[in-house]
A and B are shown apart, each in its own frame.
Chain A
């Protein structure tokens, strides 16, 4: 029985445009067919042609070459690749899975430790700055106040107003059933000042300020600006973070005052439009339930949320090592972590204060 034989004459232009066709042709042939590749016509070739031939040499036993020039052979030898290099096999054993879970737990513990260390550092540096006024770039606090306070106020006003309107509409509908429309003032006043405005402010700060702080610090880290700050004898955690912490401490009371007024205004408008409650009656009723203590509780909560946002943003920013992708991931993580912490803290406040 004679073995089947097939000749493949390579084209004049043996380049990347022809390689897919040639490989498909070889794949179509039966495995027991002896293939002879003829180089007679080849005038031009490129690295894909060499890769193709190397692939044939490694993976097909039934292939031989003819009319191959010495020059071609020499170049073929130069392109030798390391056959040991193969993509790592991803075999997940139960032991590896356990190690993976354990490593994640250890990383979580180490991250928590780093967060607490940064928090304590920032408290120390802020107190230090208050007493000796050193380590922070002059004018940076007012710049940060402008960014954190002034630039956040329009979106905060809009959200507060809309939340006030929404709460009033949905609550009025229920109160109407009991003829207790006037209590809308207590619900809006108490709910907005103590709960909704602080929470909304915290979330807006996380999305707007937290994201920008993380993006800025992580870019500085990647571009070695943080290293440059260190080599100038400054402490980056002080130089970059203290102005932001002081700025948010000064800006939050103003933001809260504005947001409270605008949020309650939304309730007043809805109460007047939907139930005909006069603004004077609304405020009289509201002040029966709400007093200055509630405003300060709301303010205190927002202050804690603001600090959480800045510390979390700084922690995520400083944790970036290299690469543009890490900046994006750190920014997203910063917002998600800040919002999660704000909600956890809010829950703790609710347990402690009621």
Chain B
């Protein structure tokens, strides 16, 4: 299976504290990889480090087997054209309506694309996430679940190779969360998009994950298939999944 992202002895963190300690893992193409762990164990830090928002302290990140240089503008731009990010708090621009929010990546990366094609793309993406009729609404007029779906639409508009989702279903009711899980599965199954999902939601993990990475104190505690998790009889994992 083709690898998209690989980390080698990755250490990262914030001023004065190392959160991620020598992480080694691989994210394969066409899979949904779920990263889970206790609050503060570095789940969101992994995403932020891979997408270049936090500089690594040491270690390397490889994108399509090519070492990432976050100081190089071309390297970072190449990464940003091929990834989509769904932030924990959605990060929709409040001054723009849904149509304009979702069309930002097209307008910025492909200004030569004709308006009529842009419109088709935005409307078809909004229709996939079920927000077509709300295209002219502003983020403040949407519910939490709608905002998540709008943010997902923005992250997928340019058919990224990989979408990073930071706690996509947290705070949503089970029905809306289920809808979002279905949407992520469709992205994988129909469009072959790779997803990296940080979540605490046990139902979501069971449903969508191809691979699970469990973090404990900033280090990889387990990496493998979801089913394999419970054959280990590991106390930390059992506690996490409420089996103990």
Contacts and interface: CB of A to CB of B under 8 A. Distances in A.
The main secondary structure of chain B at its interface with chain A is helix
B138 A323 contact: yes
B117 A19 contact: yes
Contacts of A51: 117-118, 120-121, 124
B190 A75 contact: yes
Contacts of A23: 114, 116-117
Given A47-B121, A79-B124, A323 B132 contact: no
A80 B125 CA distance: 10
30 contacts: A16-B110, A20-B113, A20-B117, A24-B114, A46-B159, A47-B121, A47-B124, A47-B125, A48-B110, A48-B121, A48-B159, A50-B120, A50-B124, A51-B117, A51-B120, A51-B121, A51-B124, A55-B116, A79-B127, A80-B127, A81-B124, A81-B132, A82-B133, A85-B123, A85-B133, A85-B135, A88-B136, A322-B140, A323-B139, A325-B94
A236 B8 CA distance: 52
A324 interface: yes
Contacts of A95: none
Given A16-B158, A20-B112, A55 B117 contact: yes
Nearest to A81: B123
Contacts of B113: 16, 19-20, 48
A78 B94 contact: no
B235 interface: no
Interface in A46-92: 46-48, 50-52, 54-55, 59, 75, 78-82, 85, 87-88
Interface in B28-73: none
Interface residues of B, number: 27
Contacts of A46: 159
Interface of A: 16, 19-20, 23-24, 46-48, 50-52, 54-55, 59, 75, 78-82, 85, 87-88, 321-325
A75 B140 CA distance: 33
B200 to A, nearest CB: 22
Interface of B: 94-95, 110, 112-114, 116-118, 120-121, 123-125, 127-128, 132-133, 135-136, 138-140, 157-159, 190
Contacts of B133: 82, 85
A52 B117 contact: yes
Contacts of A88: 136
Contacts of B135: 85
A52 B139 contact: no
Nearest to A48: B121
B123 A82 contact: yes
Nearest to B156: A47
Nearest to A323: B94
B159 A47 contact: yes
A80 B135 CA distance: 15
B94 A54 contact: no
Nearest to B111: A20
Indicate the member of A46, A88, A321, A323 with the most B CB atoms within 10 Å.
A323
Nearest to B132: A82
Contact of B132 (A47, A48, A85): A85
Nearest to A51: B120
Contacts of A24: 114
B136 A87 contact: yes
A19 B116 CA distance: 11
Nearest to A20: B112
Nearest to A53: B120
Contacts of A321: 140
B151 to A, nearest CB: 15
Nearest to A88: B136
The 4 closest A-B pairs by CB, nearest first: A51-B120, A322-B140, A323-B94, A51-B121
